[in-house]
Amino acid sequence: MSTFLIISAIIAIIFFGIKRILKNAFNYKPEVKVKFGDETEEGLDIQYNFPEVIIELPQLPDEFDRPIKIKSFSEPKLFYELNLYKYTCTCPDFEDRRIQFAMNNPQRLCKHLLQAIYERKKIQKFFDPIEHYFLTRYRKKQREKLTTITLVNNEKLGIVWMNNKEWIDILEQNETGSVQKYGYNFFEKRWSYGTKPINYKAIETTLRAK
């Protein structure tokens, strides 16, 4: 009986060994090295070491110190009242959780405040364009993080990233002041759909040098 068990164990070890070899051969993933900072990670457990930007909300002028009605996203007949000068809202999310955050903390912004900031062009001039784009496009899920870099020509760019994702977003401010988004695979060194910003070579050089 013991001989049978030993033989079975040997066969099982050989079987799983062959299975692992075949799996590695046909599902090979390139080694991933994160070049920002001192740390490197291998495999698909990607942990970026980008220096995250700490965004501070601007103090808006007194003209925004007035109540604004905004429709609920889930109940069309329900309206909330918000104040952009004080960054307040009467929705449950704000009153139960976000009210505790400081006036300049983006965590204070519920989705209704974010929507109001996004829709009102007069407010945009008080924000950094890249930070405004990030807040109004990404902060609803609040999983992505923002990093900013400066190219040799002093152009400021935004990098939007999330751990365990090979793709990052590059935010570039054009001559008109608007922000354009481009997808870039940090590890395969390629742009999404081949669409590249004007200064893509400088961007790639800066990313490699970090």
Which residue among 111, 126, 141 closes a domain?
Answer: 126
Say how far apart CA 116 and CA 95 lie, in whole Å.
17
- Which tokens in the block code for residue 157? 């760019």
Q: Per the domain annotation, does 17 fall within a domain?
A: no
Beta bridge partners of 169: 160, 183
Looking at the chain, the number of H-run helices and the number of E-run strands are 6, 8
| Contact yes or no for 159/181 (Cβ under 8 A) | no
Q: Over the stretch 27-44, which tens digit does the pLDDT of each residue have?
A: 433 333 444 433 444 445
| pLDDT > 70 fraction of the chain, expressed in percent and rounded | 76
Q: Per the domain annotation, does 21 fall within a domain?
A: no
| Contact yes or no for 204/194 (Cβ under 8 A) | no
Q: Are residues 52 and 63 in the same domain?
A: no
Is the pTM higher than 0.85? The answer reads: no
Q: Per the domain annotation, does 8 fall within a domain?
A: no
Q: How confident is the model at residue 14 (pLDDT cuts 50, 70, 90)?
A: low
Q: Over the stretch 115-142, which tens digit does the pLDDT of each residue have?
A: 999 999 899 999 999 999 999 998 766 6
Q: Per the domain annotation, does 3 fall within a domain?
A: no
Q: Are residues 64 and 164 in the same domain?
A: no
Number of domains comprising the chain: 2
Residue type, position 127, single letter: F
Q: Are residues 149 and 102 in the same domain?
A: no
> Domain range for residue 137?
31-57+130-210
Q: Are residues 52 and 68 in the same domain?
A: no
